[in-house]
Amino acid sequence: MLKLVGVGNRWRSDDGAGLEVAEILARRAPAGVAVLAHEREPVDLIEAFDGACAVWLIDAVSSGAPPGTLHRFDASAQALPAGLFSVSTHRLGLADAVELARALHRLPGRVIVHGIEGASFEAGGALSPAVASATRALAAALEAEVAAL
């Protein structure tokens, strides 16, 4: 089974970018692809990995790049840059959860992580314009990538 998991907090502005991508994809995911919106602790992602041969994770990041910049990492091949995924309000971030799953031998064979560079992580519900545009572009790209499999 293939899983697409949007991660974030919709009440912290651009931190909701991963959730927005999941909402877009949930409406048009092909059969055999599960789309999840994950707003809980990142460590709970390990349970979401169960039964998946491949997982795509989408989350907001903060690297100093222009808002809306898309980052792509193959976490099945190497560790994620932990500092990039540090905008979480939780003790453990996305990178920590992926590495814990790797240590526990619960990481699927293929794990692709997409980061969307955020502009604001302050309290509020709206995505910034650049991030909103990036979520639509990434959703279209992921739809094509998954369909090709």
Digit-by-digit pLDDT tens for the chain (149 residues) are: 899 999 999 898 999 999 999 999 998 888 889 999 998 887 888 999 999 999 999 999 988 999 999 999 999 988 888 676 665 554 578 888 899 999 999 999 999 999 999 999 888 879 999 999 999 999 999 999 888 87
Residue 62 sits in a domain whose CATH number is: 3.40.50.1450
pLDDT of residue 135: 97
pLDDT of residue 88: 53
Domain that includes residue 143, residue range:
2-148
State how far the Cα of 104 lies from the Cα of 116, in Å rounded to an integer: 27
pLDDT of residue 124: 82
State how far the Cα of 59 lies from the Cα of 21, in Å rounded to an integer: 9
Rounded to 5 degrees, φ, ψ at 45 are -60, -30
Q: How many domains are there within the chain? A: 1
Single pTM value for the model: 0.91
